[in-house]
Amino acid sequence: MDFVIQVDHVTYSYPLAKEPALKQLNVGIERGKFYGVIGENGAGKTSFCALLRGFIPEFYKGNMEGKVLVEGKAISEYGGNIASKIGYVFQNPFTQISGVKDTVFEEVAYGLENMGVPVEEIEKRVVDVMRMTDIEALAEKNPFDLSGGQMQRVALASVIVLEPDILVIDEPTSQLDPEGTESVFAIIKALKERRKTIILVEHKIDLIAEYADEVLVFKDGEIIASGDKQKILSDMSLAEKDVALPQVAILGNKLKQMGLPITEIPVTEKEAVEIIRKALKERGM
């Protein structure tokens, strides 16, 4: 397997914390795959994102055991260059916006300026990514005059423009309405089609079911389940551990218990329609 990130026996505690935030994590992130990260609030998902980005323990300090490798090299060895390899999108776009630029165009270009990219290349890359994220019309606006959905798209653009191969995205739709959520996931879908490696924390489980390849389930700082999304999101035993599952999976399981000949529990609406229709046909209904 082609692992771009390997987390090896990592346990981490924040400064002054009595209990570890992450416990004995062992996981390999394969190149080009989309990982959905789910679990209750406080389960360790955001800490996991910070770990993958190198903020733990370098920025947050605390005590860490184990190691994180990016393409076979310790993440700490990359220093500031890690930004061009792993892009990180915060849950709150206000955290992402620099606050030192007056327009959206300048904000998206800011990271490239800091990296010393030539002006001509900056302009081309910024225009391209603004087109991709559908924020061209916002180019001359102040980033802080935008709606939450618009600001989140700007935050995504400011990371995508650096052209990282890996993106760690922490609950990008938690503060957005359905329209804002749809616009953000249109961008994430485009990134998936470009075969970027994506690690996404998201509470909207139906979106994880639709887009993810693999799912990591966190509880109390541990990964309690991981694997193919179909297997994980149809595992009813996880619901007993307060893990959210797609409503169609719960419906499919109930119909199966009622005797409907369902061979596979659906995890998306499209799958549910096909599987239930087939089962009803077999019953002559």
Q: Please tell me what DSSP assigns to residue 284.
A: T
pLDDT (tens digit per residue) in 67-121: 999 999 999 999 888 988 999 998 888 888 988 999 999 999 999 999 899 999 9
Let me know if 118 is exposed, middle or buried by CB neighbors in 10 A (0-12, 13-18, 19+).
exposed
Question: How confident is the model at residue 285, as a pLDDT?
Answer: 63
Tokens of 119: 């002006």
Rounded to whole angstroms, the Cα distance separating 82 from 246 reads 35
pLDDT (tens digit per residue) in 233-246: 999 999 999 999 99
- Written in H, E and C, the secondary structure of 207-237 is HHHHHCCEEEEEECCEEEEEEEHHHHHCCHH
Tokens of 212: 């993810």
Question: How confident is the model at residue 221, as a pLDDT?
Answer: 97
The model's confidence at residue 123, banded by pLDDT at 50, 70 and 90, is very high
CA-nearest of 155, 125, 130 to 140 is 130
Rounded to whole angstroms, the Cα distance separating 160 from 167 reads 8
Angstrom CA distances, 142 to 85, 151, 158, 177, stand at 28, 10, 14, 21
Q: Please tell me what DSSP assigns to residue 153.
A: H
Question: How confident is the model at residue 282, as a pLDDT?
Answer: 76
